[in-house]
Amino acid sequence: MKSLSLLSLFVLSAFLMSCSQDQEPLVIGATMSQSGNLSTQGIAAQNGYLLCEEHINQNGGMLGRNISFLIYDDKSDSETAIRLYEELITKDEVDAIMGPYGSTLTEAVAPVTERHNMVHVSPLAATTSIWEQGREYLFMVLPPAELFLAGLIDMADQNRLSKVAVLQENALFPMAAGDGAADLARERGMDITVHHTYDRGTEDFSDFLNLLRESETEVLGMAASTLSDFITVTRQMKEHDINVKMFGTSGAVTQFQEELGEAAEYVYGLSAWEPSLPNPGIEKFVEDYRARFGMEPSFHAAGAYGSCQLFVEAVERAGTLNSDLVRNELLNLETQTVFSSFAVDERGYQTANSGLIIQWQNGQKEIVWPDELATSEAWFPTPTWSDR
């Protein structure tokens, strides 16, 4: 009887799995910046969505059905993203949506998703102002933008550095991150030597770098939305022999080091995630990401993957795709994904994720802040360019 019972359970399980596979998948719509100035981050985030789709389906799907992402290229353009989200909801009639890359595009499409009462888990937007407009269905996963350079300021203060410069791109997220760093420095009693905002597309930073030299700046925090700006400024600092004791960026991706080589050494950067973290499922995520995409996952990839995990968990808890019930689950959910800890306040604003600061050491990213998650001590101070 025991063997018959086990056989019956196996047959029933196979039957139910077959039924699930025979149903049309639940379609999750999104855009990602597959081209344009945000493509480095956007392609990685898209990969995160696709790997999450694969893993969710391997584990029984969502509500007993497979999921399938329908992802369009928003070309890093707000108007394109707005049009595509409207089409995803009204023309494609997707079952659910997930967010695009970055604060600028999230701010652009949030009115669309709100108007249609669609739960919108934003994987990679961090600007506080987006969550201060009374939106009901929008949820943050990243740490707030104003804290992206907080670790750099904290480490500078610990090392008794007091002259801080901030360079920020004139865009929604970089402005919030740069202003946040300046405010934190002032709160610590530090001097802001230069606080400069530049326009997208700037290629020559000579005037700003001359101000750095004249002000004897010790710490430079840079906030930008594109990898190329970080690379350009680093190269021009070397060319102009501009030396600071600490230089940190609002984003750390492998391509930065691959492009700059030894010039990347000693540079700090915000990383909201690293594969060395003790998060559940992280080893399988990293291994499968490498195998499928032939590269190391960045925090953008992990952020999108973790956001997908959050949405699926909320839907499973709600037992339905009803937006109000899923929204309620997310508001009350406290959990940890491959990406990070997650908890939000009544605005959907992140309260459990504070991010990491890494430093490039021997061509590798090493976590140097906060202390409890550090994989290495910071190399300090940064030597002059001629001594590296």
Q: Which residues make Cβ contacts (< 8 Å) with residue 233, sequence separation at least 6?
A: 167, 205, 222
Record the pTM.
0.85
Alpha helices in the chain (DSSP H): 2-22, 39-58, 78-90, 103-115, 150-158, 172-187, 206-215, 227-239, 254-260, 282-293, 299-318, 323-332
242, 209 Cβ separation under 8 angstroms: yes
* pLDDT attached to residue 92: 98
Cα 150 from Cα 248, distance rounded (Å):
10
Residue carrying the six token digits 């061509």: 363
> Angle, to 10 degrees, between the axis of helix 39-58 and the axis of helix 282-293?
110
Query: How confident is the model at residue 4, as a pLDDT?
Result: 41
Name the fold adopted by 19-144+298-342.
Rossmann fold (3.40.50)
Where do the CATH 3.40.50.2300 domains begin and end in the chain?
Answer: 19-144+298-342, 149-250+254-275+356-387
CATH of span 149-250+254-275+356-387: 3.40.50.2300
For residues 146 and 267, is the Cβ–Cβ distance under 8 A? no
To the nearest whole number, what is the mean pLDDT of the chain? 94
Q: Quick one: pLDDT at residue 388?
A: 83
User: Residue type for 164, please?
Assistant: V
pLDDT in tens, the chain (388 residues): 344 444 454 455 455 455 445 689 999 999 999 999 999 999 999 999 999 999 999 999 999 999 999 999 999 999 999 999 999 999 999 999 999 999 999 999 999 999 999 999 999 999 999 999 999 999 999 999 999 999 999 999 999 999 999 999 999 999 999 999 999 999 999 999 999 999 999 999 999 999 999 999 999 999 999 999 999 999 999 999 999 999 999 988 889 999 999 999 999 999 999 999 999 999 999 999 999 999 999 999 999 999 999 999 999 999 999 999 999 999 999 999 999 999 999 999 999 998 999 999 999 999 999 999 999 999 999 999 988 8
Nearest to 199 by CA among 221, 219, 226, 220: 226
Grouping H, G, I as helix, E, B as strand and the rest as coil, residue 246 is strand
pLDDT at residue 336, rounded to an integer: 96
Amino acid 67: pLDDT: 98
| Residue-wise pLDDT tens digits, 9-22 | 445 545 545 544 56
In single-letter form, the type of residue at position 139 comes to F
What is the model's pLDDT at position 25? 98
pLDDT at res. 200: 92
